[in-house]
Protein backbone atom coordinates (compact mmCIF):
# COMPACT_ATOMS: atom_id res chain seq x y z
CA UNK A 1 0.00 0.00 0.00
CA UNK A 2 2.91 2.32 -0.65
CA UNK A 3 2.84 5.33 -2.95
CA UNK A 4 4.98 8.29 -3.82
CA UNK A 5 3.16 10.45 -1.33
CA UNK A 6 1.44 9.19 1.79
CA UNK A 7 -2.17 10.22 2.31
CA UNK A 8 -3.79 10.55 5.70
CA UNK A 9 -7.49 10.49 6.53
CA UNK A 10 -9.51 11.44 9.58
CA UNK A 11 -11.84 8.95 11.31
CA UNK A 12 -14.92 9.94 9.29
CA UNK A 13 -13.26 9.62 5.88
CA UNK A 14 -11.47 6.40 6.90
CA UNK A 15 -14.74 4.84 8.08
CA UNK A 16 -16.53 5.90 4.88
CA UNK A 17 -13.82 4.48 2.60
CA UNK A 18 -13.68 1.15 4.45
CA UNK A 19 -17.43 0.75 4.96
CA UNK A 20 -17.38 0.72 8.76
CA UNK A 21 -18.46 3.16 11.48
CA UNK A 22 -16.30 5.57 13.44
CA UNK A 23 -17.47 3.69 16.55
CA UNK A 24 -15.93 0.53 15.11
CA UNK A 25 -12.63 2.39 14.61
CA UNK A 26 -12.67 3.42 18.26
CA UNK A 27 -13.38 -0.15 19.34
CA UNK A 28 -10.45 -1.44 17.28
CA UNK A 29 -8.20 1.24 18.80
CA UNK A 30 -9.36 0.49 22.34
CA UNK A 31 -8.65 -3.22 21.81
CA UNK A 32 -5.13 -2.41 20.63
CA UNK A 33 -5.76 -3.69 17.12
CA UNK A 34 -4.87 -0.42 15.39
CA UNK A 35 -3.08 2.70 16.61
CA UNK A 36 -3.95 5.86 14.68
CA UNK A 37 -1.40 8.64 14.23
CA UNK A 38 -2.03 11.73 16.32
CA UNK A 39 -1.72 15.18 14.71
CA UNK A 40 -0.48 18.12 16.75
CA UNK A 41 -4.11 18.92 17.44
CA UNK A 42 -4.47 15.35 18.85
CA UNK A 43 -6.87 14.54 16.00
CA UNK A 44 -6.69 10.90 14.93
CA UNK A 45 -5.25 10.24 11.47
CA UNK A 46 -5.06 7.01 9.48
CA UNK A 47 -2.29 6.45 6.94
CA UNK A 48 -1.09 3.45 4.86
CA UNK A 49 0.02 1.38 7.86
CA UNK A 50 -3.26 1.89 9.73
CA UNK A 51 -5.38 1.29 6.62
CA UNK A 52 -3.52 -1.99 5.95
CA UNK A 53 -4.16 -3.13 9.52
CA UNK A 54 -7.83 -2.10 9.31
CA UNK A 55 -8.16 -4.13 6.11
CA UNK A 56 -6.95 -7.20 8.01
CA UNK A 57 -9.36 -6.59 10.87
CA UNK A 58 -12.38 -6.04 8.63
CA UNK A 59 -11.64 -9.13 6.52
CA UNK A 60 -11.27 -11.32 9.60
CA UNK A 61 -14.47 -9.91 11.12
CA UNK A 62 -16.25 -10.73 7.86
CA UNK A 63 -14.91 -14.29 8.16
CA UNK A 64 -16.57 -14.49 11.59
CA UNK A 65 -13.58 -14.11 13.92
CA UNK A 66 -13.95 -12.39 17.29
CA UNK A 67 -11.86 -9.38 18.24
CA UNK A 68 -9.94 -11.54 20.70
CA UNK A 69 -9.07 -14.05 17.98
CA UNK A 70 -8.12 -11.28 15.55
CA UNK A 71 -5.77 -9.76 18.11
CA UNK A 72 -3.93 -13.07 18.40
CA UNK A 73 -3.74 -13.47 14.64
CA UNK A 74 -2.54 -10.03 13.55
CA UNK A 75 -0.10 -9.76 16.48
CA UNK A 76 2.22 -6.78 16.56
CA UNK A 77 3.33 -6.79 12.92
CA UNK A 78 1.64 -6.47 9.56
CA UNK A 79 0.42 -9.76 8.12
CA UNK A 80 -1.48 -8.36 5.15
CA UNK A 81 -0.15 -11.06 2.80
CA UNK A 82 -1.39 -13.84 5.12
CA UNK A 83 -4.77 -12.18 5.53
CA UNK A 84 -5.20 -11.64 1.79
CA UNK A 85 -4.26 -15.27 1.16
CA UNK A 86 -6.86 -16.41 3.71
CA UNK A 87 -9.47 -14.17 2.11
CA UNK A 88 -8.61 -15.47 -1.35
CA UNK A 89 -8.81 -19.10 -0.23
CA UNK A 90 -12.18 -18.48 1.39
CA UNK A 91 -13.57 -16.82 -1.74
CA UNK A 92 -12.12 -19.55 -3.96
CA UNK A 93 -13.74 -22.27 -1.86
CA UNK A 94 -17.07 -20.47 -2.15
CA UNK A 95 -16.52 -20.08 -5.89
CA UNK A 96 -15.80 -23.81 -6.29
CA UNK A 97 -18.93 -24.68 -4.34
CA UNK A 98 -21.01 -22.33 -6.48
CA UNK A 99 -19.67 -23.97 -9.66
CA UNK A 100 -20.52 -27.44 -8.32
CA UNK A 101 -23.97 -26.26 -7.28
CA UNK A 102 -24.69 -24.78 -10.71
CA UNK A 103 -23.51 -28.04 -12.35
CA UNK A 104 -25.83 -30.11 -10.16
CA UNK A 105 -28.76 -27.82 -10.91
CA UNK A 106 -28.10 -28.05 -14.66
CA UNK A 107 -28.04 -31.86 -14.49
CA UNK A 108 -31.28 -31.86 -12.49
CA UNK A 109 -32.95 -29.53 -15.00
CA UNK A 110 -31.89 -31.80 -17.88
CA UNK A 111 -33.42 -34.80 -16.12
CA UNK A 112 -36.68 -32.94 -15.52
CA UNK A 113 -36.76 -31.71 -19.15
CA UNK A 114 -36.37 -35.33 -20.27
CA UNK A 115 -39.34 -36.32 -18.13
CA UNK A 116 -37.31 -38.20 -15.51
CA UNK A 117 -37.96 -37.77 -11.79
CA UNK A 118 -35.12 -37.06 -9.38
CA UNK A 119 -34.40 -39.87 -6.94
CA UNK A 120 -34.41 -39.29 -3.19
CA UNK A 121 -30.60 -39.51 -3.16
CA UNK A 122 -30.33 -36.96 -5.96
CA UNK A 123 -32.73 -34.61 -4.19
CA UNK A 124 -30.75 -34.95 -0.95
CA UNK A 125 -27.46 -34.16 -2.72
CA UNK A 126 -29.05 -31.24 -4.55
CA UNK A 127 -30.36 -29.78 -1.29
CA UNK A 128 -27.09 -30.20 0.58
CA UNK A 129 -24.75 -28.99 -2.17
CA UNK A 130 -26.70 -25.98 -3.44
CA UNK A 131 -27.38 -24.12 -0.18
CA UNK A 132 -24.40 -21.80 -0.66
CA UNK A 133 -26.12 -18.52 0.13
CA UNK A 134 -27.41 -19.73 3.48
CA UNK A 135 -23.88 -20.47 4.71
CA UNK A 136 -22.63 -17.11 3.46
CA UNK A 137 -25.52 -15.22 5.06
CA UNK A 138 -24.96 -17.02 8.37
CA UNK A 139 -21.35 -15.83 8.53
CA UNK A 140 -22.43 -12.33 7.54
CA UNK A 141 -25.19 -12.33 10.17
CA UNK A 142 -22.90 -13.47 12.99
CA UNK A 143 -20.10 -11.08 11.99
CA UNK A 144 -22.54 -8.15 11.95
CA UNK A 145 -24.07 -9.24 15.26
CA UNK A 146 -20.67 -9.28 16.98
CA UNK A 147 -19.70 -5.97 15.38
CA UNK A 148 -22.85 -4.32 16.75
CA UNK A 149 -22.15 -5.66 20.25
CA UNK A 150 -18.66 -4.14 20.06
CA UNK A 151 -19.94 -0.81 18.75
CA UNK A 152 -22.50 -0.44 21.56
CA UNK A 153 -20.15 -1.18 24.43
CA UNK A 154 -17.30 1.34 24.89
CA UNK A 155 -15.56 -0.93 27.42
CA UNK A 156 -15.32 -4.00 25.19
CA UNK A 157 -16.52 -6.20 28.06
CA UNK A 158 -19.71 -7.27 26.25
CA UNK A 159 -17.63 -8.59 23.32
CA UNK A 160 -15.37 -10.50 25.68
CA UNK A 161 -18.38 -11.93 27.51
CA UNK A 162 -19.92 -13.07 24.22
CA UNK A 163 -16.64 -14.78 23.29
CA UNK A 164 -16.79 -16.67 26.59
CA UNK A 165 -20.42 -17.65 25.96
CA UNK A 166 -19.51 -19.05 22.54
CA UNK A 167 -16.63 -20.97 24.06
CA UNK A 168 -18.74 -22.44 26.86
CA UNK A 169 -21.82 -23.29 24.78
CA UNK A 170 -20.12 -24.07 21.47
CA UNK A 171 -19.62 -27.78 22.14
CA UNK A 172 -21.44 -30.40 20.08
CA UNK A 173 -23.52 -31.60 23.05
CA UNK A 174 -24.80 -28.09 23.82
CA UNK A 175 -25.50 -27.40 20.14
CA UNK A 176 -27.41 -30.66 19.70
CA UNK A 177 -29.52 -30.03 22.81
CA UNK A 178 -30.37 -26.48 21.73
CA UNK A 179 -31.23 -27.63 18.19
CA UNK A 180 -33.61 -30.20 19.64
CA UNK A 181 -35.26 -27.54 21.82
CA UNK A 182 -35.62 -25.15 18.87
CA UNK A 183 -37.22 -27.93 16.81
CA UNK A 184 -39.63 -28.59 19.69
CA UNK A 185 -40.38 -24.87 19.90
CA UNK A 186 -41.15 -24.87 16.16
CA UNK A 187 -43.77 -27.59 16.64
CA UNK A 188 -45.29 -25.73 19.58
CA UNK A 189 -45.36 -22.50 17.57
CA UNK A 190 -47.37 -24.24 14.87
CA UNK A 191 -49.89 -25.25 17.53
CA UNK A 192 -50.05 -21.54 18.42
CA UNK A 193 -50.84 -21.78 22.16
CA UNK A 194 -48.44 -19.54 24.10
CA UNK A 195 -50.11 -20.61 27.36
CA UNK A 196 -49.82 -24.36 26.88
CA UNK A 197 -48.10 -26.38 29.59
CA UNK A 198 -45.75 -27.86 26.99
CA UNK A 199 -44.62 -24.39 25.88
CA UNK A 200 -44.09 -23.23 29.46
CA UNK A 201 -42.12 -26.37 30.31
CA UNK A 202 -39.87 -25.80 27.30
CA UNK A 203 -39.17 -22.23 28.44
CA UNK A 204 -38.24 -23.55 31.90
CA UNK A 205 -35.80 -26.03 30.37
CA UNK A 206 -34.25 -23.33 28.18
CA UNK A 207 -33.86 -21.05 31.18
CA UNK A 208 -32.26 -23.86 33.15
CA UNK A 209 -29.75 -24.56 30.37
CA UNK A 210 -28.82 -20.86 30.05
CA UNK A 211 -28.95 -20.02 33.77
CA UNK A 212 -25.18 -19.69 33.91
CA UNK A 213 -25.22 -17.02 31.20
CA UNK A 214 -27.83 -14.96 33.04
CA UNK A 215 -26.03 -15.21 36.37
CA UNK A 216 -22.59 -14.28 35.02
CA UNK A 217 -23.64 -11.63 32.48
CA UNK A 218 -24.55 -8.14 33.77
CA UNK A 219 -27.94 -6.83 32.70
CA UNK A 220 -26.37 -4.06 30.59
CA UNK A 221 -24.36 -6.58 28.57
CA UNK A 222 -27.44 -8.76 28.05
CA UNK A 223 -29.21 -5.66 26.74
CA UNK A 224 -26.35 -4.95 24.32
CA UNK A 225 -26.71 -8.46 22.93
CA UNK A 226 -30.50 -8.23 22.63
CA UNK A 227 -30.24 -4.90 20.83
CA UNK A 228 -27.54 -6.24 18.51
CA UNK A 229 -29.70 -9.27 17.64
CA UNK A 230 -32.76 -7.11 16.93
CA UNK A 231 -30.84 -4.75 14.66
CA UNK A 232 -28.93 -7.53 12.87
CA UNK A 233 -32.16 -9.41 12.21
CA UNK A 234 -33.90 -6.28 10.89
CA UNK A 235 -30.99 -5.58 8.52
CA UNK A 236 -30.92 -9.19 7.28
CA UNK A 237 -34.66 -9.20 6.65
CA UNK A 238 -34.45 -5.87 4.83
CA UNK A 239 -31.86 -7.45 2.48
CA UNK A 240 -34.00 -10.60 2.16
CA UNK A 241 -31.07 -12.72 3.36
CA UNK A 242 -31.62 -16.47 3.65
CA UNK A 243 -31.73 -17.09 7.39
CA UNK A 244 -30.79 -20.50 8.80
CA UNK A 245 -33.33 -20.10 11.61
CA UNK A 246 -36.96 -19.03 11.91
CA UNK A 247 -37.23 -15.72 13.84
CA UNK A 248 -40.90 -16.48 14.50
CA UNK A 249 -39.85 -19.35 16.78
CA UNK A 250 -37.89 -16.98 19.01
CA UNK A 251 -40.78 -14.51 18.98
CA UNK A 252 -43.07 -17.34 20.12
CA UNK A 253 -40.71 -18.23 22.98
CA UNK A 254 -40.52 -14.57 24.00
CA UNK A 255 -44.33 -14.42 24.15
CA UNK A 256 -44.44 -17.56 26.29
CA UNK A 257 -41.75 -16.14 28.59
CA UNK A 258 -43.49 -12.77 28.88
CA UNK A 259 -46.78 -14.42 29.79
CA UNK A 260 -45.11 -16.56 32.46
CA UNK A 261 -43.34 -13.50 33.84
CA UNK A 262 -46.59 -11.54 34.08
CA UNK A 263 -48.25 -14.46 35.89
CA UNK A 264 -45.25 -14.93 38.23
CA UNK A 265 -44.72 -18.46 36.96
CA UNK A 266 -40.95 -18.20 36.67
CA UNK A 267 -38.51 -19.19 39.37
Residues in the chain: 267
Burial code (b: 16+ CB inside 10 Å, e: under 16) for 132-145 equals beeeebbebbebbb
pLDDT at 3: 46
What angle, rounded to 10 degrees, do the helices at 247-262 and 197-209 form?
A: 100
Helix (H, G, I), strand (E, B) or coil at 37: strand
Contact 17, 9 (CB under 8 A): yes
pLDDT at 154: 74
CA neighbor of 89 nearest in space, from 63, 51, 115? 63
221 vs 120, residue with greater confidence:
221
Among 23-32, 49-58, 91-100, the range scoring the smallest mean pLDDT is: 91-100
CA-to-CA dists, residue 13 to 83, 125, 184, angstroms:
23, 47, 48
pTM: 0.52
Among 8-12, 143-147, 200-204, the range scoring the smallest mean pLDDT is: 143-147
pLDDT at 36: 93
pLDDT at 4: 46
The band of 78, judged by pLDDT with boundaries at 50, 70 and 90, is very low
Residue 227 scores a pLDDT above 80 = yes
Amino acid sequence: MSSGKERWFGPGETARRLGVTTKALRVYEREGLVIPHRAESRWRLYGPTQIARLHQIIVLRELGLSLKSIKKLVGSQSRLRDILRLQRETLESQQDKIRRAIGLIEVALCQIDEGRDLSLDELAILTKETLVQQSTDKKKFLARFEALIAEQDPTGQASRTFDEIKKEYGGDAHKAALRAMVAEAGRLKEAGDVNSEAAKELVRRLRSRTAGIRRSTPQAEQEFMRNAYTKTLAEAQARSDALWFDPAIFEFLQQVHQGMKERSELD
